[in-house]
């Protein structure tokens, strides 16, 4: 089946620095990728939809200047947490839609645990 790779799996950074997380579809082209955030013991929350070659669509309440999303190619989307603060510490996970299937099957990355000190 399709594989979505996410990197890094864990990152620790100092407050005020920026962190980039990559999401790659390894064996299919994904015109659309999604970024989610999960707080401890809570459900997944959709942050934004990343569209190849165009601007990302952000969900209500998500700061676009804080969470920069770039989808420069059909296999790569990146999420940059800018000027990270401790409250940005969370589990971030991406998914990519494989449009080869009739319904656009969704595949998830392994997630990235961000800890901001």
Q: Residues interacting with other proteins, by CB under 8 A?
A: 1, 34, 38, 40-41, 43-44, 46, 91, 93, 103-108, 110-111, 113
d(CA 117, CA 104): 38
Shortest CB 32 distance to other proteins, Å: 10
Measured from the CB atom, the residue of 59 and 63 that comes closer to other proteins is 59
Task: List 95's β-bridge partners, or say none.
Answer: 34, 108
Shortest CB 95 distance to other proteins, Å: 8
Q: How far apart, in Å, do the first and last CA atoms of the chain sit?
A: 37
Measured from the CB atom, the residue of 65 and 103 that comes closer to other proteins is 103
Shortest CB 13 distance to other proteins, Å: 16
- With b for 16 or more beta-carbon neighbours within 10 A and e for fewer, the 34-50 pattern comes to bbbbeeeeeeeeebbbb
Measured from the CB atom, the residue of 16 and 104 that comes closer to other proteins is 104
Shortest CB 38 distance to other proteins, Å: 5
d(CA 48, CA 36): 7
């Amino acid at each position: 089946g399709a594989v979505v790779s996410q990197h890094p799996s864990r990152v620790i950074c100092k407050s005020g620095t920026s962190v980039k997380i990559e999401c790659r579809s390894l064996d299919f082209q994904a015109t659309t990728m999604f970024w989610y955030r999960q707080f401890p013991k809570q459900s997944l929350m959709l942050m934004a939809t990343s569209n190849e070659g165009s601007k990302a669509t952000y969900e209500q309440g998500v700061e676009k200047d804080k969470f920069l999303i770039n989808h420069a190619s059909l296999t790569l989307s990146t999420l940059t947490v800018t000027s990270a603060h401790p409250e940005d510490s969370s589990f971030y996970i991406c998914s990519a839609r494989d449009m080869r299937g009739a319904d656009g099957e969704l595949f998830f990355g392994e997630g990235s645990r961000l800890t901001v000190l």
